[in-house]
Structure 1
Amino acid sequence: MKYYEVTSLFKGKKETKTIKAPNKKDAITIAKTKIPGILLNIKITSAPLEDQFSEFKEKFFKSVIKKKINSKALIAAIRQLAVMTDAGISIHDSIKEVKDASVDKALKIIFSELNDDLNSGLSLTQAMMPYRKELGDVTLAMVELGESTGNMSESLEKLAEILEEIEENRAKFKKAMRYPITVMIAIAIAFTILMVYVVPKFKDIFSKFKTELPLPTKILLFLENVIHNYGFYVLGFIIIVIVFVKYMLVNNEKFKYNFDKYILRVYLIGSISFYATMSRFTLVFTELIRSGIPIADALETSLLTLDNMHLKHKLSSVNVSVQRGVSLTQSFSDTQLFEGMLIQMIHAGERSGTLDKMLDKVTNYFKSRFNDLIDNISSYIEPILLGFIAAMVLLMALGIFMPMWDLAKAVKN
């Protein structure tokens, strides 16, 4: 959000006020609806010092502690809106009814603000803009589609289906990751207990040895020393790093771009992230094309749904190429994100005029690849977990027993 200084003429007097808006166009719209009198001038200005400090605090805590609205409550609210608008009830009255019926506190507050903004003359898309992070880019994209096509009920119904699919994928991923995360936590606890209670007893014995200790024992004693003397510092450092990364991901675009680019190269997680993102992009893009939206506009709206900045940057080039007159097939091919089979399907759709049907098949392909990864995630992770457990057991065994063997040989000789 940026700050704009608005100069207006009201009852023969000039008045200057400061408003917040994402861009100058929205600032003019807000100024016309909320500031009385004739609008004389509007220019960007710096935020007051106290606002800068409070904004930093708000950004920091929002980055670290994300208070998201309940996704199931949002889906239910979207479905209610779809039913009421389909019945011919105005969007303003529908928003008001959903606000009164909602039991989710965060959602109730948002819909209350939406109701006030609609009363002031803003469109639903403009009213939702300040709540982009809470409602999601997919919601804004589909609401904008409903307003542009004039078929809000159909767009809201499709939005509910998309959100349900995203929530289902998220639930699948969490369920699949529950087992490996539980195993990793159990291993970490067991290793810490061994380091705190078992290794120190052997440390006293090893300190009496006059011979050079083997490498596994040195590693074991080093880890014990770090955990025993600097354990809380290490824990604090890890927490600080996590908080810092979360803050930078929200507030630094360059950091997020590099992070998103790197995460796509990480084993398994990169593939899951790629197929989930591409499935969401093609799903929204297909629905926009099916609704008769021009390709360039559909691409621009679909890009809003992408979280991964690296993929968003690559797919943005498609929009630029299409506007220059390059075919959609060639534009998608240049990104190197689509397999040859998918490019051929898109090409066939362009030539036969059935682009939406072919894109639907592309979406199903990405979705099936994502589901396959999620359904078999345990089999992909188990070899890594077994290797990690074996390495830890081997380190413990060699670290403790090798000096004993050396001592036994020395006594025997």
Structure 2
Amino acid sequence: MKYFLATVLTKGKKEQIPIYAKDKIDAQNIAKMKSTGILIKVVEANEPFEAQFSRFQKDFLKNIKKKKIKPDALIASIRQLAVMTNAGISIYDSLSEIANASEDEALKTVFSKLADDINSGHSLSRSMENFRFELGNLTIAMVQLGEKTGNLDEALYSLADMLEEIRANIIKFKKAMAYPRNVMIAMAIAFVVLISYVVPEFKTIFEELDAELPVPTQILLTLEHLFNNYGPYVLAILFGAFMIFKYLINNNKQIKYGWHELLLKTYLIKNIIKYSTLSRFTLVFSELIRAGIPIAEALDTSIDMIDNLPLKIKLQSVRITVEKGGNLNKGLKDTELFENMIIQMVSAGEDSGTLDTMIKKVAEYYKMRFDAIIDGLSEAIEPIMLFIIASMVILLALGIFLPMWDMGNAVQGR
């Protein structure tokens, strides 16, 4: 967001209104909504330090307080909105009714504000842009599809199906992670108990030896010192660091890009992100093509819903290729994200005029790959879990027993 100053003439007096907007045109529209006076000019300006600090404080607190709508509540509300839209009920009345009937506070707040925006003359997708965190990119992309095709109810039905599928995958993911998570929690608790209560008993013995301690023992004693003397402070620092990192991820594009790039290089996580992203991208893209939306425009809408920045930038190059008159299959090939089989399928679809069908099959293929990863998640994570457990056990064993062996050797005169 950029900082603008809008000069407005109200009751014969000039006043300046600070505005945050994407560009000058957006700033002018916001200024007209904020003031009933005559808009004289809108200029981009340097944001004062006080405003910067106030915005940081506001955004930081917002990141802590804001909550996503519960998946079950969102899916139910989308289906209800689809039914009411299909029945000819206005969007404003539908949103208001759903907001009043919902028990989910986040959904109630979001849908109430959406209804107010609709009443002010905004489109549904434009209003949803203000709640991208709560609603998700997919929801906004599918609503845009419905508005472009004039079949909002069909788009909402499809959206509800997609959200249910995503929710089912999340449940599968949680089930697959349940055993490894419980084992790691149990090991972490055992490690903390040993560090806090067992290691201090050996510390006295080691100090009486007044000998040079091996590295594993020094690590254990350092951890024991931190846990028992600075435990609350360490937790507070970790929590603060996490919140600052979360704020930077949400508000700094370069840091966000670097983080997303790191995730794409991380074992197992990279495949989960890649195949889930490509599955949703191709699914939305196929729906748009089937609805008769031009390829370049369909790419725009499909790419907008992607969260991972490196993948988003690579796929944006596809749109550039298509705009320049290139084939879709060439653009997809240049990204190096798609297998040769997929490129051939897209090429065949372009040649035969069945691109929407081929892209739909591609979406099914990536969904299959993603489901296979989720199903095999427990097995894939076992080596990592075993490595962490083994490292903790070896550190404890060596840290405690190495000095004792040295003591035994010293007593025997070796």
Whether the TM-score (by the shorter chain) exceeds 0.5 is yes
Q: For residue 393 of structure 1, what is the amino acid of its counterpart?
A: V
**Alignment partners' CA distance in 2, 1:139 and 1:64:** 23
1:239 is matched with 239
> Which secondary structure state, in structure 1, belongs to the residue aligned with residue 141 of structure 2?
helix
1:341 aligns with 2:341: yes
Q: Is the 8 A contact 2:91 2:118 kept in 1?
A: no
Q: Which 10-residue stretch deviates more, 191-200 or 403-412? A: 403-412
> Which secondary structure state, in structure 2, belongs to the residue aligned with residue 306 of structure 1?
coil
1:203 is matched with 203
CA distances 1:290-328 after superposition (whole Å, capped 9, x unpaired): 111111111111111111111111111111111111111
**Alignment partners' CA distance in 2, 1:25 and 1:193:** 60
**Alignment partners' CA distance in 2, 1:368 and 1:190:** 39
Superposition deviation, residue 9 in structure 1: 7.0
1:315 is matched with 315
Q: For residue 390 of structure 1, what is the amino acid of its counterpart?
A: A
Q: Which 10-residue stretch deviates more, 213-222 or 198-207? A: 213-222
Superposition deviation, residue 129 in structure 1: 2.5
Superposition deviation, residue 337 in structure 1: 0.7
- TM-score w.r.t. structure 1 length? 0.90
**Alignment partners' CA distance in 2, 1:37 and 1:233:** 53
Q: Which 10-residue stretch deviates more, 212-221 or 307-316? A: 212-221
Superposition deviation, residue 360 in structure 1: 1.4
Q: Is the 8 A contact 1:7 1:14 kept in 2?
A: no
2:117 is matched with 117
Q: Which 10-residue stretch deviates more, 118-127 or 340-349? A: 118-127
- Trace 1:142-157 onto structure 2 (pairs within 5 A): 142-157=142-157
1:293 is matched with 293
Q: Which 10-residue stretch deviates more, 46-55 or 251-260? A: 46-55
1:93 is matched with 93
**Alignment partners' CA distance in 1, 2:356 and 2:197:** 64
Q: Which 10-residue stretch deviates more, 33-42 or 110-119? A: 33-42
1:354 aligns with 2:354: yes
Superposition deviation, residue 266 in structure 1: 0.8
> Which secondary structure state, in structure 2, belongs to the residue aligned with residue 292 of structure 1?
coil
RMSD of aligned Cα (Å): 2.6
Q: For residue 325 of structure 1, what is the amino acid of its counterpart?
A: G
Superposition deviation, residue 259 in structure 1: 0.6
> Which secondary structure state, in structure 1, belongs to the residue aligned with residue 88 of structure 2?
coil
2:228 is matched with 228
Q: Which 10-residue stretch deviates more, 143-152 or 296-305? A: 143-152
CA distances 1:49-72 after superposition (whole Å, capped 9, x unpaired): 765444322211223444222222
1:175 is matched with 175
Q: Is the 8 A contact 2:146 2:154 kept in 1?
A: yes
Superposition deviation, residue 38 in structure 1: 6.2
Q: For residue 168 of structure 1, what is the amino acid of its counterpart?
A: A
**Alignment partners' CA distance in 2, 1:258 and 1:363:** 27
**Alignment partners' CA distance in 2, 1:248 and 1:76:** 33
Change (3 A) 1:122 1:66: closer
CA distances 1:378-404 after superposition (whole Å, capped 9, x unpaired): 111112212222222222223322333
Superposition deviation, residue 226 in structure 1: 3.5
Change (3 A) 1:401 1:93: closer
Q: For residue 84 of structure 2, what is the amino acid of its counterpart?
A: M
**Alignment partners' CA distance in 2, 1:407 and 1:132:** 63
Q: Is the 8 A contact 1:3 1:46 kept in 2?
A: yes
**Alignment partners' CA distance in 2, 1:130 and 1:217:** 53
Q: For residue 148 of structure 2, what is the amino acid of its counterpart?
A: S
> Which secondary structure state, in structure 2, belongs to the residue aligned with residue 207 of structure 1?
helix
Q: Percent identity?
A: 54
- TM-score w.r.t. structure 2 length? 0.90
> Which secondary structure state, in structure 1, belongs to the residue aligned with residue 85 of structure 2?
helix
Q: For residue 412 of structure 1, what is the amino acid of its counterpart?
A: Q
Gap runs ≥5 in structure 2: none
Change (3 A) 1:392 1:53: closer
